[in-house]
Structure 1
Amino acid sequence: MKNIVPLLLILICSSFAYGQESLKAKALLDEVYNKVQSYDNIEVEFKYALENKEANINQETRGDVTLQGDKYLFNYLGSQQLYDGKKVYTVVPENEEVTIEDRSEEDNTITPSKMLTFYKSGHNYAWDILQNVQGRKIQYVKLTPIDTNSEIASILLGIDAQTKHIYKLIETGKNGTKTTITVNSFKTNQPLSKTLFTFDEAKYEDDGYYIIRN
């Protein structure tokens, strides 16, 4: 009995501390979410790295995305994807192809328009390490999918403690693949062309692109 009581106290205190840390992590993510939602538009330049030691995969590339509400213009791996609020247009210059498809309201895929807000639901949260990156304090929050069937084991989300902007995302898959996205530039409320999220199908037809409709 003498041994059980201290163990129970340790367990209760540990559970309380974990609960407080989880609430602190969620509060920080709520700050990030509210900050993102307050902007009229966002322009992000990022570095993307994919690593799987077992499969001997180590790839690195760069990309950029412009976001305004649900609409986005995404440049990555030599291709461009545009979402105008109704349809998704994927342009692959190398193949001279354009794919046009509807975006389902029930689609749960992490799209560029969700890349800064995907963490809002579907995860358990835990407070993680604080790093100093060239004078910037980056606080990490660990996200674990609630869905046990998810292919993702965990996500580390690095947040600039001063600006409340996402600086880094490190996703670890259950298959050992690690995906890292590092934000190199984060601009907000930029002057955008009124036609930025408008797809000119005739232009690509005139250039001889093959149009695929799904």
Structure 2
Amino acid sequence: MKKTTFSMQRFIRILSVFILTFSLSAYAQDATKAKKLLDEVSGKVKSYNNIVFDFKYSLSNPKKNLNQECKGNVVLQGNKYVLNFMGVTRIFDGKKVYNIVPEDEEITISTFDDKKDDGLTPSKMLTFFTSGYKYAWDIVQNVKGRKIQLIKLTPLDPKDNTKEILVGIDSQTKNIYNLVQIDKDGTRTTFTINSFKANQPLSKNHFTFTESKYPNYYINKLD
């Protein structure tokens, strides 16, 4: 199977370069305001029957000569999803993960393990921030007439490789617009949602893997 630099954890958590200094009293007030807005976003995401969005993903680290950019799309319903990214289709039906690689005509099937690092899934991407972070109210950006409020997240775990994350939230729709992550080694990852739709008509088999569709593929069952 073709190796890819894709990391679900990196895809879900993204860090920002904007760092502001707050007094203790201001931080306490702004942290409450920031957490309230994030809770609104999380609540809205959970209220949808399904979500469909296209995204742009970029990764850079000049010291490591990393510079990568690509696009993808995701369909989510509950914890199930279909992700198309970097030439790979990944299906999660709630129990098993199916990685389909057309270039190699290979399919890898494995049982989902929530305890593993790669157990972070697209279904958690829009709500991962509800715990494990300190929150701070950051600046507002104007993006093509849209007011994007930035919330800064700092991991509570000192062993976390992530330094900080900025979550950009559309002030009108209360949907996530982008996330920017900078790791402690200087790697910067940016994730931007280009289009977002909710409660779309989906077939009942949308998240079902059908082996007969891939007659010439090598199927590797890991467990």
TM-score when normalising by structure 1: 0.90
Q: Check the 8 A contact 2:114/2:120 in 1, yes or no.
A: no
1: CA distance, partners of 2:155 / 2:114? 21
Partner of 2:202: 192
Q: Give the drift of 1:110.
A: 2.4
Q: Secondary structure at the match of 1:22?
A: helix
1:183 aligns with 2:198: no
TM-score when normalising by structure 2: 0.87
Q: Secondary structure at the match of 1:155?
A: strand
Gaps of 5+ in 1: 1-12
What amino acid is the match of 1:184? Answer: N
1: CA distance, partners of 2:120 / 2:180? 15
What amino acid is the match of 1:47? Answer: K
1: CA distance, partners of 2:38 / 2:201? 27
Q: Give the drift of 1:181.
A: 0.5
Structure with more relative contact order (C-alpha pairs < 8 Å, separation 6 or more): 2
Q: Secondary structure at the match of 2:63?
A: coil
Q: Secondary structure at the match of 1:35?
A: helix
Aligned length: 200
Q: Deviations over 1:74-131 (max 9, x none)?
A: 0000110000000000001111110111112434542111111111111111111100
2: CA distance, partners of 1:128 / 1:211? 47
The farther-off stretch of 46-55 and 107-116 is: 107-116
1:89 aligns with 2:98: yes
Counterpart among 49, 69, 73 of residue 64 in structure 1 = 73
2: CA distance, partners of 1:107 / 1:166? 26
1:111 aligns with 2:121: yes
Partner of 2:26: 17
1:74 aligns with 2:83: yes
Q: Give the drift of 1:201.
A: 1.6
Q: Give the drift of 1:14.
A: 2.9
1: CA distance, partners of 2:44 / 2:143? 21
2: CA distance, partners of 1:154 / 1:15? 19
Partner of 1:32: 41
What amino acid is the match of 1:84? Answer: D
What amino acid is the match of 1:76? Answer: F
1: CA distance, partners of 2:175 / 2:116? 26
1:142 aligns with 2:142: no
**Identical residues among aligned pairs (%):** 56
Q: Secondary structure at the match of 1:153?
A: strand
**Structure having the higher Rg:** 1
2: CA distance, partners of 1:149 / 1:141? 22
1: CA distance, partners of 2:122 / 2:100? 15
